[in-house]
């Protein structure tokens, strides 16, 4: 069971790294795919840095946890909890979006995988 949880978390980490890379290196395509537009360089910088950077940071933290132990567990849980907080505020302030709900589920699954690995490991 521990191996299954670690593989699942590793796949989440790969997905986060891939998505982060897409936001950083294929910004125009990601903006088109998500319906986001910006005309100012600061907007592009925020999308690349804040979204792409957070996704890559989360993916790196997952692999640090998998290969260097539980000291990284709280980092992953904290990152995911912070993103969930932002998504909940968005749900309240901006209304429900399919992507927001999917994101919350993804982050909760990631937290659950980390906790499961900690308990079984």
Provide the residue count of the chain. 121
For residue 118, what pLDDT is reported? 97
Q: Where are the alpha helices (DSSP H) in the chain?
A: 2-25, 27-34, 41-46, 53-68, 73-94, 98-120
Q: Are 85 and 104 in contact (CB under 8 A)?
A: no
For residue 5, what pLDDT is reported? 98
> pLDDT tens track of the chain, all 121 residues?
999 999 999 999 999 999 999 999 999 999 999 999 998 999 999 999 999 999 999 999 999 999 999 999 999 999 999 999 999 999 999 999 999 999 999 999 999 999 999 999 8
Phi, psi of 61 (to 5 degrees): -60, -40
For residue 48, what pLDDT is reported? 96
* Rounded CA separation 50/107 (Å): 17
């Amino acid at each position: 069971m521990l191996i299954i949880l670690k593989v699942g978390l590793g796949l989440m980490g790969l997905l986060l790294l891939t998505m982060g890379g897409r936001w950083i290196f294929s910004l125009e395509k990601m903006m088109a795919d998500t319906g986001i537009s910006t005309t100012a360089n600061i907007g592009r910088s925020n999308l690349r840095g804040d979204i792409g950077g957070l996704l890559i940071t989360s993916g790196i933290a997952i692999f640090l946890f998998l290969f260097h132990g539980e000291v990284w567990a709280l980092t992953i849980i904290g990152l995911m909890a912070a993103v969930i907080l932002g998504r909940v505020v968005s749900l309240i302030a901006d209304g429900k979006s399919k992507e927001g709900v999917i994101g919350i589920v993804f982050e909760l699954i990631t937290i659950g995988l980390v906790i499961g690995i900690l308990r079984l490991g």
